[in-house]
Amino acid sequence: MKRRNFLKALMGVFGTVSVASFAYPLIRYLAPSGSAADQKKIVLSKQEIPIGGSKVIVFHERPAIVINRPDKGFIVLSKVCTHLGCLVEYAKDRNVLVCPCHAGTFDLEGNVISGPPPKPLPKLPLRVEGEQIIIG
């Protein structure tokens, strides 16, 4: 194989991988999931998440985060940024969720504080029963 052809093939592979790594999270976010297995609830112990703490879960095949807010209690938010689908991170010291891709920032209700995200992070259904947190 000639060097030029090898470099073209190599660039093609890199291009395909780049497009796939961008498109996959977006497609996963937009595609509905509705199998019976997806309908399962997640049960956590309240003791797993102390005040100010968080736990990352996968719900309906999508990453989400359970946060025990200091003054408002538990909430579950999607970790998928509403801008382009990157995964937000909980910045405990600032009480916000930050997207590493374009610096979108969300409060602990999921509302957009700053940056390009067009809408809030989706909230997932959660209820607390005794010592259990039930998601779904």
Q: Given the rule CB under 6 A, which residues bind ligand FES?
A: 81, 83-84, 86, 99, 101-102, 104, 115-117
81 CB burial (10 A radius; 0-12, 13-18, 19+): buried
Facing residues of 68 across strands? 74
Minimum CB separation of residue 77 from ligand FES in Å reads 13
Nearest residue (CB) to ligand FES, 116 versus 122: 116
Nearest residue (CB) to ligand FES, 28 versus 46: 28
Minimum CB separation of residue 18 from ligand FES in Å reads 16
Minimum CB separation of residue 122 from ligand FES in Å reads 14
3-state secondary structure of 39: helix
Minimum CB separation of residue 97 from ligand FES in Å reads 10
Facing residues of 22 across strands? none
Nearest residue (CB) to ligand FES, 99 versus 133: 99
Nearest residue (CB) to ligand FES, 116 versus 136: 116
Give the residue from 95, 82, 84, 24 showing the smallest Cα distance to 53: 95
d(CA 99, CA 34): 27
Tokens 């920032």: give the residue.
105
Structure tokens at 122: 């989706």
